[in-house]
Amino acid sequence: MDRQHMRSPLARAMGLGSAKKGVEHWWAERVSAVALIPLTLWFVASIIAQTGSDHATFITWLRTPVATIMMVLLLVALFHHTALGLQVVIEDYRHAGAKFAALVIMRLSCFGLATAGIIATLHIAFGG
| One-letter amino acid for residue 91 of the chain | E
What's the half-sphere exposure (Cβ side, CA atoms, 13 Å) at 105? Answer: 7
Query: Nearest Cα to 69, choosing from 87, 43, 93, 49?
Result: 43
Count residues near another protein (CB under 8 A): 34
Q: Does residue 70 bind another protein (CB under 8 A)?
A: no
Give Cα 106 distance to the centre of its chain: 13
Site string for another protein, 17-56 (x = CB under 8 A): -------------x--xx--x--xx--x---xx-xx-xxx
Closest CB to another protein among 37 and 104? 37
Q: Does residue 78 bind another protein (CB under 8 A)?
A: yes
Question: Rounded to a whole number, what is the largest CA-CA distance in the chain?
Answer: 64
Burial 23-54 (b: 16+ CB within 10 A, else e): beeeeebeebeebbeebeebbeebeeeeeeee
The minimum distance between CB 16 and another protein, in angstroms, equals 18
Q: According to CB under 8 A, which one of 6, 14, 89, 98 is a site residue for another protein? A: 89
Q: Does residue 58 bind another protein (CB under 8 A)?
A: yes
Residue ranges that bind another protein, judged by CB under 8 A: 30, 33-34, 37, 40-41, 44, 48-49, 51-52, 54-56, 58-59, 62, 71, 75, 78-79, 82, 85-86, 89, 113, 116-117, 119-121, 123-124, 127
